[in-house]
Structure 1
Amino acid sequence: MRVCLTGAVLALACAPSTSFRTSLRRARAMPPVTRLRALETPDVDVAGTAAPASAAGAAQSGGGKSVTIVGAGVGSLVSAALLAQDGYKVEIFEKNPEDQVGGRINQAVIEGCRFELGPSLLLLPDVYRKTFAACGLDLDEEMTIARVDPTYKAYFDDGTGFVLDPRDPDFKGNLEAIEAGSYEQYKKYMESAEINLEGGWPNFIEEKLTLDVLPKFIANALTPRNFPLLSHNQHLKQYFKTKKLNALFSFQDLYVGLSPYNAPAVFSLLTAIELSDGVYYPIGGFHQIPKALRRRCEELGVKFNFGAGVKKISVEGRAAAGVELDDGRSVESDLVIANPDLPFVEETMIPAEKKRHTENMEYSTPVVSFYFATDKRFDALGHHTICLSTDYERSWDDIVVEGKFPPNFNFYVHAPSRTDPSVIQRPGGEGDSIMVLVPTPPLPAGIDDAEKERISQEWYEQARAGVIKQFGKMPGMQDFEKHIVGEQVRTPADWGKLYNMNRGAVFGLSCKISQLSFLRPSPRHPNIDNLYFVGASTRPGNGVPLVMTGARLLHERIMREAPVDA
């Protein structure tokens, strides 16, 4: 299920306001810290090339079924292109401006430094290639994909560091220095992880029975040390004795909004993807992906409506019949595809007697996201860096069990100029673009917006202080704070408001075992015909490769269930 799930991170769900809302300022002199809002000030440029209105509304030919798509995220774009190629008349309604196309895949430029606001790890590039090819595009003609080297740098809060990349000549020795015999155990763990990837992806992600790998997958799962219902942490304890090694090979669970203590053991496949297949980055930024898909959609005659929010999905009898817009207009169609987060759609856009019950659904961990522009490069950081607490179990238990922000926490850092120098647009190329994701508990259910803001502000203050403290323990970063020239932040309250994410959960529904694979909400609504879903909270799950795969599977399903000319 490997995915680029990092992050998280996302595209705005409310109309742009005229100015940034100033957040907490430190007592010492420092640049303003602002809540990140797209298109709110001239010094923040959000990615995306707006097509002329006439081009965005090219009429489609043919008499095939009409499809209304709610939202212009990457799942919508892939679905639209595939359906339009087969003769469906597709129209997309997006509440945000047109330079926000792509949903959570977006970027900003702050003080001459470019930042990814959404995904920052490109995993499984062949899934991207397959999806682009299905849409009539060549990924490698659209952009250059570069492998990140090293895969990760990792630092613990006791000051120790580690290069997490089997290509590193010191990798074996560094493992053995932590725990004697651990390199052989690492190879055995990776063998199991590879089996989970090879058997899990085709059978449980792409939902295609693959008999040549399934027996090996089942046999591996039935061994006590690899039993898939173990937690990831319990699984790792079968291989490693030290908590540090358990942490080094389980932190990826953060990217799907889980902890190693509630993530299923099968999530070892994330380790296999990153350490065996590699982590990649699109030179020039992730925004090129939705930009290319939008262009292809327009070539196929897909009609885009930006600044056009959908209020509700119209239902006649048992079938979806179109949508009602925020401005009161009604749009009729044969099929509706919803891309906003599934719980939000169920709770606010569907008649109460038809909706799926969401009260028992569980959510992934939100994040506080920091965007630090600096006038100095910090070489202690890799393209991807993970900072880990030595009190690893408590750092996660506080979040997922106690529902409180931990005193010592784990966090992810993205500094992409190591792979893509174009990230730094400051004079002389000096500086760094540093994004930090700090996981938090889901916001409490049933609280009002003011309370969400209050709690998020507390978590923001604690997270910022902890990040600065950890950076101060890393080589050459003791002066980090004084080199900040621009700083912006998004909190769980911001993510919830901007993307209609319940409880601020930017990764959507949790991928715990009871919401995994075939147990995850179906992309076909059980109570409303002709209503379908695409995105992170439906099958197969969150992260760009899974969302793209889900869009391809949805296309196949619609072709079976609602043929274009039937």
Structure 2
Amino acid sequence: MARIIVVGSGVAGLAAAARMATGANDVTLIERNGSPGGSLIWATPDTLTLPAVLRDLFVKTGGRKASAAGKLEEVVDLRPIDPVRTYRFPDGSSLDLPNAARGASKDAFDAAFGHGAGDAWLRVVDHGNRAWSAVRPTLVEVPDAGRRDLWRLFSSSAARRALAPRRTLRQIGEAAGVRDPRMMRVLDEYAQAAGAAPETAPSVIAIRPYIEQTFGAWRIVGGLPELATALYERCLKRGVSFRFDTEVTSIAAGSVTLADGERLSADVIVAAVDAHVLARLTGTVKGSKAAPADYSPSILSIRLESRNATETTPATETTERAYETVLFGEGDEQPTIRLRVAPERPNEWIAYADVALSMTSQDAEELKSAIAKRLGIAAESLTVREVFTPGDRERLTSTPGGSLHGPAISSLNSAILRSPTVQPIKGLLHVGPSARPGPGIAFAALSAWNAAEVLKPTRV
């Protein structure tokens, strides 16, 4: 029987524990906080793509009996989102992005940005298709893939064109025919949502809109805390042992050491933590901070209550808002604001903005005012009910600066050759947003699949 210790209970940690807990493995998950879920327990952007990854996770970890609730849809209420999101621009124009509908997307871009814009957008999506087809079987779903495999991939001229290592996402857009600055801001938003600066985002990020528009965008009713609960309960059914309020202070080959000095032995250790945290735990780096330029920004998240529609505004103001709205500001000096409104809770709004670590709860009122101004409603109709700052996220996850996506993506290597699943330390595996294949719920779950594949000989 293999003794496995998983450190961290975010999506990747829970998914890895559930996959590895079999009759041949004894799995213990250690979490420094008092409950599972990591940053999922608060308002994290929660639009899901590649639902097949989560579906596979729950099917493969479910019981053989029909009553064992093996399917994803049996443990959470998963629904498609349409439109995927609404983009609102400073000039008053907007774009409603359809869900997984190529023809409808073409028509939507043409209507928003003029004839030809739809074809240009589809060319960007097609570039993402080629890039995904190149990296998925050779780098994404190969646990021990590395630079050598990337260079081997470059021996194909078709793969080199698909990955375009010297081109940025903006350059791909320009080559595809993106001319309207508003349309380029939509492309930039995909870069920022992946943890990349629009000016340097590599062309491979075109994979993101391709995946979203090909496999669809989904949401879980109740938000990501519902997914965290479902994963936790699946782990319990698989026999995973949990140790909460327990902090790991160091990791070595075959053991972890806890804050109270206790040393636990293991055949395999799965680190579901940030890459910089992992380096600190293994002694690769000293200290607890990373250079700000090395990491993607954090976000300021606020929970707002919208006054009852009958009191101040027409009913459509609160009951017909898109699930996700992106509010672009004027120029670079005003941040982009992302607003989420679930149809079953139309008076509860969750807002996010990329910010620095120094932002505090006092900045929530300014963010609220900016939202009201961009939507053309009275600021008094919104009340701040809860705030989650970058500092809160850093304390919860230990990720430097409270970064949402981990190490910044600024090149092809930093996008697809993140921290490898198989680490140099014997028996140590790495999963999560800063590991391969990258940030996002689906990719974090996919990293857990990669880790489980490494242990395939020990599974039953």
Normalised by the length of structure 2, the TM-score is 0.84
Q: Say which SS state the counterpart of residue 39 (structure 2) adopts.
A: coil
Q: Which residue of 2 aligns with 1:205?
A: 140
Distance 1:468 1:67, change over 3 A: same
Q: Say which SS state the counterpart of residue 345 (structure 1) adopts.
A: helix
**Equivalent residues, number:** 435
Q: Which residue type is aligned with residue 203 of structure 1? A: T
Q: Which residue of 1 aligns with 2:255?
A: 322
Distance 1:203 1:478, change over 3 A: same
Equivalences for residues 504-515 of structure 1 within 5 A: 504-513=402-411, 515=413
Q: 2:228 aligns with which of 286, 290, 304?
A: 290
Distance 1:517 1:190, change over 3 A: closer
Equivalences for residues 199-278 of structure 1 within 5 A: 199-207=134-142, 219=158, 221-222=160-161, 227-238=164-175, 239-278=177-216
Distance 2:159 2:246 in 1: 50
Equivalences for residues 92-491 of structure 1 within 5 A: 92-97=29-34, 100-107=35-42, 117-136=43-62, 137-165=70-98, 172=107, 175-176=110-111, 178-207=113-142, 219=158, 221-222=160-161, 227-238=164-175, 239-313=177-251, 315=252, 320-347=253-280, 349-351=281-283, 362-376=294-308, 378-379=317-318, 381-391=321-331, 395=332, 407-417=333-343, 421=344, 424=345, 431-441=346-356, 443=357, 455-457=358-360, 464-465=365-366, 468-474=369-375, 477-479=376-378, 481-491=379-389
Q: 2:436 aligns with which of 519, 530, 539?
A: 539
Distance 1:462 1:230 in 2: 36
Q: Which residue type is aligned with residue 298 of structure 2? A: P
Q: Say which SS state the counterpart of residue 516 (structure 1) adopts.
A: helix
Distance 1:202 1:434 in 2: 39
Q: Which residue type is aligned with residue 342 of structure 2? A: P
Q: Say which SS state the counterpart of residue 250 (structure 1) adopts.
A: helix
Whether contact under 8 Å (2:368, 2:384) holds in the other structure is: no
Please state how far the C-alpha of 1:148 moved relative to its aligned partner: 0.7
Q: Which residue type is aligned with residue 121 of structure 2? A: Y
CA deviations on 1:233-280 (whole Å, 9 max, x unpaired) are 121112211211111233122222212222111111211222333211
| RMSD across aligned positions (CA) | 3.3
CA deviations on 1:51-80 (whole Å, 9 max, x unpaired) are xxxxxxxxxxxxx12112212222122222
Distance 1:365 1:87, change over 3 A: same
Distance 1:360 1:205, change over 3 A: farther
Distance 1:283 1:364 in 2: 28
Structure 2 unaligned residues grouped into runs of 5+:
63-69, 310-316
Distance 1:351 1:182, change over 3 A: closer
Distance 2:53 2:271 in 1: 22
Distance 1:374 1:353, change over 3 A: closer
Larger helix percent: 2
Q: Which residue type is aligned with residue 387 of structure 1? A: L
- Does 1:494 pair with 2:383? no
Whether contact under 8 Å (1:143, 1:283) holds in the other structure is: yes
Distance 2:293 2:23 in 1: 35
Distance 2:306 2:167 in 1: 43
Distance 2:406 2:105 in 1: 38
Please state how far the C-alpha of 1:174 moved relative to its aligned partner: 5.6
Amino-acid identity (%): 21
Distance 1:248 1:463, change over 3 A: farther
- Does 1:523 pair with 2:421? yes
Please state how far the C-alpha of 1:361 moved relative to its aligned partner: 8.3
Which 10-residue stretch deviates more, 543-552 or 155-164? 155-164
Distance 1:76 1:201, change over 3 A: same
Q: Which residue type is aligned with residue 348 of structure 2? A: S
Distance 1:462 1:160, change over 3 A: farther
Q: Which residue type is aligned with residue 143 of structure 1? A: V
Q: Which residue of 2 aligns with 1:46?
A: none
Please state how far the C-alpha of 1:512 moved relative to its aligned partner: 2.7
